[in-house]
Amino acid sequence: MIIPEISFPDYLEAKKEVDDSALNSTVRERLLSAIRHVVTEQTGTLRILDLGTGTGAMVRRLLRDLGSVQSAGMDLEILGVDIDQNLVETAKRLGAEDWVESGSGSRHSAGSGEVKIEFRVMSVDKALAKENSCELITAHALMDLLPMAATCAAVHRSLVPGGLFYATINYNGLTRWYPKAEDAEFEQQLLSYYDRSMRRVREDGREQDGASSGGQLYEACSAAGLEVLALGGSDWCVFPKVDVGTAAYTGGERSLLAWMLGNIYREGLQEFPASSMDTWMSGRLHCLQQERLAMVVHHLDVLARRRFP
Ligand SMILES: C[S@@+](CC[C@H](N)C(=O)[O-])C[C@H]1O[C@@H](n2cnc3c(N)ncnc32)[C@H](O)[C@@H]1O
């Protein structure tokens, strides 16, 4: 079986394109209005920490969205951290296409506020070690990989009172492919197994179900003392476009579909006979090549705030 080879950084960049359309606009609007509130209450610097930054996609999004903060005279200090050195190098390189490099980070001035961006190889634990140090913490497609309760408690400590936690694209237990597979019952079993395979027992002994991470995060925020300001769906809905004269999928969509098929195929080999997996995969790849394949994956976005004293 020939599985499409896509590198992890390429997958993250393909995902960025789909995430941009999927991010919940109501939650995002609430984030921007809450930040405007922070900006009117404070002067100085808005300190932002992007956890598990990968190729820095969320940092680039924030730069696009936070122009108004800068033009209100506030400086932006953004730190993106990841444990993977290769990804951090990629984040710096992609960032450098937009910003002028200076020293270890990147700086540019536009409008009245100054922007400082830095990417570092660092664990989430270490990045969250300093109390009262950030106005905004972001975590994009990350929380399912971390111990939820301990991370939310650490986020709470790291935020200043009134500081915001914007955690997005949290998988919430539904992946579906269309049109119906030839052996729809097998695909159903495979997708149920795929969700079950995300269950882990964490170092703190707690069981965590990656397939319900959106809902678990909602509860963990409240348990950690963060108040949830907004909650909304951020589903990936990738389907072949029928507009005359345009390709069925964008490049990002095609790569994401291929990555997801490969991911589920490899996971399924742990449970099902290779012959069944091969039959399923070749049917789905055929559908992709014919530009008929659609995919829906359910996620949740959460915006939470550390209470004012
Ligand atoms: C699914 S990727 C998401 C990357 C990026 N936020 C995005 O969506 O484009 C998860 C990222 O978290 C990083 N990661 C996982 N555990 C981490 C930890 N304990 N500390 C720092 N980074 C971590 C991984 O290296 C990976 O880059």
Q: Is the dihedral of CA 209, 211, 217, 223 positive or negative?
A: negative
pLDDT of residue 107: 53
Q: Classify residue 207: in a domain, yes or no.
A: yes
CA 187 to ligand 1 centroid distance, Å: 29
Domain that holds residue 80: 21-172+201-236+298-306
Q: Whose CA is nearest to atom 4 of ligand 1?
A: 54
pLDDT of residue 308: 85
* Residue 14 Cβ contacting ligand 1 at under 6 Å: no
Q: Is the dihedral of CA 169, 175, 179, 181 positive or negative?
A: positive
* Residue 53 Cβ contacting ligand 1 at under 6 Å: yes
Local mean pLDDT, 10-residue blocks, the chain (309 residues): 87 96 97 82 84 96 81 84 97 72 46 82 97 95 94 97 96 95 96 92 78 94 97 97 82 95 96 97 95 96 93
pLDDT of residue 202: 75
Cα dihedral 170, 175, 179, 180, rounded to 10, equals: -170
Q: Classify residue 276: in a domain, yes or no.
A: no
pLDDT of residue 110: 47
Q: What CATH number does residue 214 fall under?
A: 3.40.50.150
By CB atoms closer than 10 A (0-12, 13-18, 19+), residue 165 is buried
pLDDT of residue 243: 78
pLDDT of residue 106: 47
Task: Assess contact for 112 and 39: CB atoms under 8 A.
Answer: no
CA dist 137 and 244 (Å) reads: 42
Q: Classify residue 188: in a domain, yes or no.
A: no
Q: Classify residue 39: in a domain, yes or no.
A: yes
Of 39, 45, 95, the C-alpha closest to 68 is 39
Q: Whose CA is nearest to atom 24 of ligand 1?
A: 52
pLDDT of residue 160: 93
Looking at the structure of the chain, the number of domains it has is 1
Q: Classify residue 246: in a domain, yes or no.
A: no
Q: Classify residue 183: in a domain, yes or no.
A: no
Q: Compute φ and ψ for 175, nearest 5 degrees.
A: -130, 130
* Residue 299 Cβ contacting ligand 1 at under 6 Å: no
Q: Classify residue 302: in a domain, yes or no.
A: yes
Residues 6+ apart with CB under 8 A from 164: 31, 34, 35, 38, 135, 136, 137, 229, 303, 304, 305, 306
Q: Classify residue 100: in a domain, yes or no.
A: yes
Q: Whose CA is nearest to atom 13 of ligand 1?
A: 52
